[in-house]
Structure 1
Amino acid sequence: MSEFFIGDVILAPVFLGQGSEVKVRPAVVMGDCGRDKINICPITSRTPREGPVITIELDDFEKGGLSLFEESYLIVSQNFTVRKSEVVGKKGKLRADKVSEIRRAVKS
C-alpha cells in the first residue's frame, strides 16, 4: 500500500456536483483518516461557480506537477474520503507554503 502525505497531489475517483459522474481527477491529500483512507480536496481546470477556491499553478509544486497550461483550482468546500487502494497515481507534491494556505482555507 502506498503512503500518502498532506500536500501530495494524487489522481483519485471524485464526484463533483449534481448530474456529474464519478471521475478520476487530481486532488490534494489533506490528511490520513486512519486504516486505509485519506481525506482529499479535488482540483479542477474550470473556474468553480461557487465556494472558496485556491489557485494551483506549476510554481506551487515542490516536485512533479500536473499538465497545466493555465491555472487550476482546488475546491476548498468539497472534501472527500477515499480508500488508498482507489488512488490511481501520484502526480507530485505541493510546496509547504501552498499547503499552509490550503489548510488555513479549509479550517475557515
Structure 2
Amino acid sequence: MATIEECRAALDQLSDNLARADGDVRGAAALDRTLSCHITDLDRTFTGRLEGGRIHVAGLAAGPPATKAEIRLAMTGDDLVAMVAGQLNFAKAWAGGRVRLEAGFRDLLRLRSLL
C-alpha cells in the first residue's frame, strides 16, 4: 500500500508532467480550478488548485474532502502512484471504476484530452 509521502510525490510528479506537456494536454491543464484528491485506502484528502498548468497542493486532511472542489478525484494510493508512473491507464481505471473524477461538464470536456 502506497504511503502518504509516496502519494504526495506522485502528485508532485503529475504536476511536473503537466507543466512540461504541450498541445491539447497543456490546454486542458491550463484550467484554474480548486482540486481535491481523496486517497480512499488511506482516508486522506489532498486539496489545492490546478493553476497555470500545475497542481499546487495546499493541504492534507483526514477523511473525505471537507468542501466540494471544482475538480474531485478519488482513488487508492497504489492506483495514483501507478498512473503517474505510467503503469495504469487513467481512462481504463476511470471506466472500470477504480478512479472517480467529478467536475462540471465543461471542465470534463477540457480534461478529456488528459485521458
Query: Relative CO higher for 1 or 2, CA cutoff 8 Å, sep ≥ 6?
Result: 1
TM-score (norm 1): 0.30
Q: TM-score, normalised by structure 2?
A: 0.29
**Larger % of strand: which?**
1
